[in-house]
Amino acid sequence: MKKILVVSAVVLMTSFVLAAEENLIEELNLSNQQVKQIQTQQRNKLEIQTQLHQQLQVREQELKLELGKAEPNVERIQTLKQEMTQLREHQLDNEVEGTLEMKKIMTKQQLQKMEKLQLQTGSGLQNQNKIQTQTNMQNGSVGGNAGNGRKGH
C-alpha cells in the first residue's frame, strides 16, 4: 500500500517537477554536462539515502517491538538507539556530501545564483533537497522520504 501511495504521488508531481527543473536549469544556466553530472550524483545520493532510510525503519520497528514486550531488554533498546543515531548521522553526512559534490559541479556564478534563489525562497539545504529530488523524479527514481529534510523519517 505504501509503495502505491509513493508511486501515485510521484505520478501526480511529475509534470510540476519537470517544469520546475527546467526552470531551475534555465535560471542557473546549467550546461548539459552539468545536468548529467548532477543527475548522476543525485541518483547515487538517493540510493544511499533510501538504503539508510530503510535500515532506520527496520530499527524503529525493532525498537517498538522491544518496547512492547512485557519485559523489554534494556541492552537491546540501547543498542537499537545507538544504531538509529548512527543511521541518522549517516543520512546527514550523505546530505552534506551531496551538497559539497553539487557545489563542485557548479561555477562560482551559478553557486551565487543558487544562494540568491535559496534566500528568496527562505530555505537552504531543504530547498536544495527539493531541487535534487526533482532531478531524481525526472529520472523515474522513487526513494520514499529520502532527503525530505525531516530528521529520521
- The pTM of the full predicted model, rounded to 2 decimals, is 0.63
Say if CB 59 and CB 87 are below 8 A apart: yes
**Per residue in 58-74, pLDDT tens?**
999 999 999 999 999 99
* pLDDT confidence tier of residue 96, bands split at 50, 70 and 90: very high
Question: Which is higher by pLDDT, 5 or 68?
Answer: 68
**Can you tell me the mean pLDDT for 39-62?**
96
C-alpha span between 134 and 72 (Å, rounded): 42
45 pLDDT exceeds 60? Answer: yes
pLDDT reported for residue 80 = 98
Residues 104-119: tens digit of each pLDDT? 999 999 999 988 888 8
3-state helix, strand and coil shares in percent for the chain, rounded to the nearest 5: 80, 0, 20
pLDDT at 114: 86
What's the chain's average pLDDT?
A: 79
Please tell me the predicted confidence (pLDDT) of residue 152. 42
| CA–CA separation, 37 and 135 (whole Å) | 11
Which sign, positive or negative, has the C-alpha torsion 63, 64, 65, 68?
positive
C-alpha cell read off for 34: 552539468
